[in-house]
């Protein structure tokens, strides 16, 4: 047990995710570098910018008091889309971009309409991805339904910045407290209100009425809603109802409701939001500004990107001769220029060894002739040393000589070598405002490359020996403008080792969201293969239909005429050589039309650097617009510098590393370290006759249906209903590949099974119910090592007092589990036991928790706490009281089973 707690404490300190690169910093109590980006699809509206400014200004004062004078918003950048007219007050962005903004202003999520929400799927205390506001939320009066916009922003900021969770629960809005009262799920319990059914309609007339109890659960019926009193005295909590006038604080240890079955208690082990906030890195060494009552007003900068500017900075030093690196670099760079870079972009190229040379100043990509002008200058002979700084400076020069600003421009830096002088140009890189994406090719690439990416908010990649690693890296470096319809989508990415004179077959599904600008590319290592490609209608393309590159860089491509047919494409490849050779197959495409949102897969690691024995979490997000795609197969391939690969199936089951079930975020712990150095991540998502449907958005500002005032219920306008055919749509078969970049591992011991240092995973979905005189339990099996393998045994304890399990699990009553054999991680476990008859009385409540064990004596954290209440059936049931108190006598009279899960 002691060993387990030490490991868990260590993990909690190290699992600090770097899920996306935010520029926000907290300096002298003021937040700087906040980016609010407007989607290119939003029509131009000056009022939108004005309301954003007013919202942030209001939020800053509210935040200042909510954090007890510790923090406010100092400066904010508003990124105006390129689709809006240019104005003199719009400045050129530096490294600000839509895809890394802290706040997105975009069209609504299909099911949740204008509800503000935060995409947040890390662990407790982990930063979120972004806040999503809709134009309608920012432009219309939402005061009664959400409260002032500034307060809503602070609610969402707490999700985004400090990793706290909501204190309500729309799926379980009521629970039975330890005092046997029905309580609304909230924090704090000092917030008062009434429980009502609003707008129950029959025959054209609608009424309001008090809630009735559900005869099965003894909680209120499903239509029951907690209606807060308009007049309140409670000051907490912002994570429950920030719209109430009296609410100006977060729940503290003193006011926190540990019983409420909400996500904050589940994810943060019943800690208060204020405790989690004060534990964040923002407030570790920050003193309150006690000398002032109000913070300075925020300042705003309006930014607008121009056309995309990219310069390739490619290594052609002597070491690039090894393992065909120069050939592979040229193959991937050509594919990027022809298939990935968006039309209309400005592209230049620099090559370097001991010195650097501008091969092409910026050229606008319009047609085939323009990209051929660039590919014609790809280097053919490697020689010389490695001066990365010379390459970068020449890249800056290529951009500025074309009358473009380096600020906001991008450099793709690829190298396999080391340069001990690289730090000498770091300051110049910082001043340039350029975004640098780095591709480390091979195990000897300079260890400072990642520093360049991190300081400029660029992507970082590592590629081993096969060409696909490079192709995957280049394919991920797409536009950051937010215009998804322009971005390339990778449908296939495979490396095939084919014996001499043998055929190999494969299939690629093309779904109805894509098909424009589709390419099928094959590369080889020795000799050109024979190719047969067939579309779903039976039309065949053979080798003679493909175009071979004039520079003889061992690649051949076919651009599918028009829009690629929807359905399954098949291909056959024959190795014409007598020896085995590696062939790669790549298929890329774009959205079928500007109005069709393609299915997109993105992937990343929870942290860019891992220090053993810290695990990392692999994340893959599969979406169509803001619609999560559920029920598909998602696989991660992780490769180290020696070429050792680990394949990991990712899950969206709400267990282990996965925070929320069925939200389109697939995740898994990675612990199979094989040495120190760089690791690359690649994800493959594929669907076979599944559906895309919307799931509950967990982290959002609560929509208030109405208020109680002077004995009357004053309802707000109801939320618009979403039709079932919108909330759930059938999906075609599809396939997506995505690179998740690279991460670095250190301090791994040289030999041994390193994963055994990790304990079994925590069980987070334990559920309990009475069936007769027995309690039935169910949960998702953890692994022997976090969420991998099979635990050795389980320890189940129960008590009549929830605090016994929360604070002293080892002393609660132990249940005999000798016949319970754990299943493989991810499986559904079921177990039942019979409490001692002497302990079962009318209305007896049992609290149950569980630990997974790996011998010898290595245990998981204690699970969530499940609650089951037993009622003895009455002989003559009576009509229930409509009050909220359930006495022991009335519980016995109603004689039914209560099932509640406490997180």
Q: Which residues are known catalytic residues?
A: 156
d(CA 695, CA 560): 36
**DSSP category for residue 857:** T
**Rounded Cα distance, 456 and 59, in Å:** 29
Rounded to whole angstroms, how far apart are CA atoms 193 and 183? Answer: 10
DSSP state of 15: -
119: burial class by Cβ within 10 Å (0-12, 13-18, 19+)? buried
Q: Which of 854, 796, 869 is nearest to 830 (CA)?
A: 796
CB burial string 378-417: b at 16+ within 10 A, e below: bbeebebebbbbbbbbbbbbbbeebebbbbbbbbbbbbbb
CA–CA separation, 389 vs 422, rounded Å? 6
CB atoms within 10 A of CB 585: 21
Tokens found for residue 42: 């939003």
- Using CA atoms, how far residue 471 sits from 261, 362, 742, in Å, is 47, 22, 14
Task: Give the residue carrying structure tokens 């990712």.
Answer: 650
What is each CA distance from 409 to 97, 307, 367, 705, in whole angstroms? 11, 9, 22, 47
Q: What is the dihedral of CA 448, 423, 441, 413, to 10 degrees?
A: 120
Q: Give helix 46-66 / helix 149-162 axis angle, nearest 10°.
A: 70
The SS3 assignment for 536 reads coil
Please list, residue by residue across 285-312, b when 16 or more beta carbons sit within 10 angstroms of its beta carbon and e when fewer do: ebeebeeeeebeebebeebbbeebbbbb
- Contact between 467 and 523 under an 8 Å Cβ cutoff? The reply is yes
Q: From CA 580, how far away is CA 437, in angstroms rounded? A: 34
Cβ neighbors of 871 (< 8 A, separation 6 or more) are: 218, 842, 843, 891, 892, 894, 895, 896, 897, 898
């Amino acid at each position: 047990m002691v060993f387990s707690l030490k490991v868990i404490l260590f993990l909690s300190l190290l699992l600090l995710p770097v899920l996306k690169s935010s520029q926000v910093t907290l300096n002298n109590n003021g937040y700087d570098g906040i980016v609010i980006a407007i989607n290119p699809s939003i029509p131009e509206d000056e009022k939108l910018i004005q309301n954003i400014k007013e919202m942030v200004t209001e939020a800053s004062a509210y935040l200042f008091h909510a954090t007890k004078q510790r923090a406010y918003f100092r400066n904010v950048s508003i990124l105006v889309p390129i689709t809006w007219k240019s104005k003199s007050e719009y400045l050129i962005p530096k490294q600000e971009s839509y895809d890394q903004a802290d706040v997105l202003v975009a069209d609504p999520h299909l099911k949740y309409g204008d509800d503000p929400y935060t995409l947040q799927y890390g662990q407790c205390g982990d930063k979120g991805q972004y806040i999503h506001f809709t134009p309608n939320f920012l432009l219309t009066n939402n005061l009664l339904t959400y409260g002032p916009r500034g307060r809503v922003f602070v609610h969402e900021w707490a999700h985004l910045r400090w990793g706290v969770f909501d204190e309500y629960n729309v799926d379980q809005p009521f629970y039975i407290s330890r005092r046997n009262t029905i309580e609304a799920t909230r924090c704090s319990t000092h917030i008062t209100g009434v429980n009502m059914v609003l707008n129950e309609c029959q025959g054209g007339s609608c009424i309001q009425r008090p809630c009735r109890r559900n005869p099965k659960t003894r909680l209120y019926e499903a239509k029951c809603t907690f209606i807060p009193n308009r007049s309140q005295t409670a000051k907490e909590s912002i994570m429950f109802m920030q719209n109430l006038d009296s609410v100006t604080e977060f729940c503290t240890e003193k006011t926190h409701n540990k019983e409420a079955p909400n996500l904050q208690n589940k994810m943060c082990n019943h800690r208060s939001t204020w405790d989690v906030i004060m534990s964040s890195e923002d407030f570790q060494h920050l003193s309150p500004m006690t000398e002032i009552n109000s913070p300075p007003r925020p300042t705003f900068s309006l930014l607008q990107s121009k056309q995309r500017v990219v310069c390739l900075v490619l290594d052609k030093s002597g070491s690039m001769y090894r393992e065909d690196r120069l050939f592979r670099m040229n193959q991937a760079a050509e594919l990027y220029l022809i298939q990935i870079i968006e039309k209309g972009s400005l592209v230049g190229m620099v090559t370097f060894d001991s010195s650097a040379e501008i091969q092409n100043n910026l050229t606008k990509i319009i047609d085939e002739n323009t990209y051929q002008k660039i590919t014609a200058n790809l280097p053919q002979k490697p020689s010389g040393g490695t001066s990365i700084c010379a390459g970068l400076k020449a890249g800056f020069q290529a951009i500025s000589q074309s009358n473009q600003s380096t600020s906001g421009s991008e450099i793709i830096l690829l190298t396999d070598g080391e340069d001990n002088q690289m730090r000498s140009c770091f300051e110049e890189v910082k001043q340039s405002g350029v975004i640098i994406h780095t591709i480390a090719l091979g195990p000897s690439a300079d260890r400072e490359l990642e520093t360049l990416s991190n300081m400029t908010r660029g992507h970082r990649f590592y590629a081993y020996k096969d060409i696909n690693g490079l192709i995957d890296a280049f394919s991920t470096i797409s536009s950051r403008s937010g215009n998804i319809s322009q971005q390339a989508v990778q449908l296939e990415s495979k490396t095939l080792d084919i014996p001499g004179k043998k055929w190999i077959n494969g299939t690629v599904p093309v779904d109805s969201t894509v098909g424009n600008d589709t390419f099928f590319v094959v590369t080889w290592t020795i000799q050109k293969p024979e190719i047969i490609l067939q579309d779903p209608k039976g039309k065949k393309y053979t080798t003679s239909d493909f175009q071979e590159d004039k520079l003889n860089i061992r690649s051949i491509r076919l651009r599918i005429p028009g829009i690629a047919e929807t359905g399954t494409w098949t291909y056959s490849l024959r190795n014409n050589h007598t020896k085995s050779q590696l062939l790669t197959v790549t298929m890329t495409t774009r959205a079928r039309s500007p109005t069709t949102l393609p299915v997109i897969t993105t992937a990343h690691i929870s942290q860019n650097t891992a220090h053993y024995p810290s695990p990392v979490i692999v994340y893959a997000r599969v979406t169509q617009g803001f619609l999560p795609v559920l029920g598909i197969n998602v696989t991660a391939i992780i490769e180290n510098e020696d070429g050792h690969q680990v394949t990991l199936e990712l899950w969206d089951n709400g267990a282990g590393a996965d925070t929320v079930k069925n939200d389109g975020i697939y995740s898994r712990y990675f612990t199979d370290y094989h040495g120190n150095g760089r690791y690359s991540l690649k994800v493959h998502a594929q669907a076979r006759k599944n559906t895309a449907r919307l799931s509950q958005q967990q982290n959002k500002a609560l929509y208030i249906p109405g208020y109680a005032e002077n004995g009357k219920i004053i309802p707000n306008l109801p939320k618009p209903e979403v039709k079932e055919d919108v909330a759930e749509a059938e999906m075609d078969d599809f396939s997506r590949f995505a690179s998740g970049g690279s991460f670095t591992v250190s301090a791994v011991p040289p030999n041994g099974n390193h994963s055994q240092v990790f304990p079994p995973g925590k069980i987070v979905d334990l559920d309990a119910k009475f069936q007769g005189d027995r309690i039935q339990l169910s949960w998702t099996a953890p692994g022997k090592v976090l969420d991998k393998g099979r635990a050795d045994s389980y320890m189940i304890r129960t008590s009549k007092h929830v605090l016994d399990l929360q604070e002293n699990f080892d002393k609660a009553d132990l249940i005999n589990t000798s016949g319970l054999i754990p299943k493989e991680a991810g499986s559904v476990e079921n177990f039942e036991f019979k409490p001692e008859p002497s302990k079962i009385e009318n209305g007896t409540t049992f609290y149950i928790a569980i630990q997974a064990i790996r011998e010898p004596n290595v245990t998981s954290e204690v699970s969530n706490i499940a609650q089951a209440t037993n009622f003895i059936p009455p002989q003559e049931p009576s009509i229930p009281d409509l009050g909220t108190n359930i006495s022991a006598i009335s519980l016995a009279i109603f004689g039914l089973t209560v099932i509640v899960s406490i997180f």
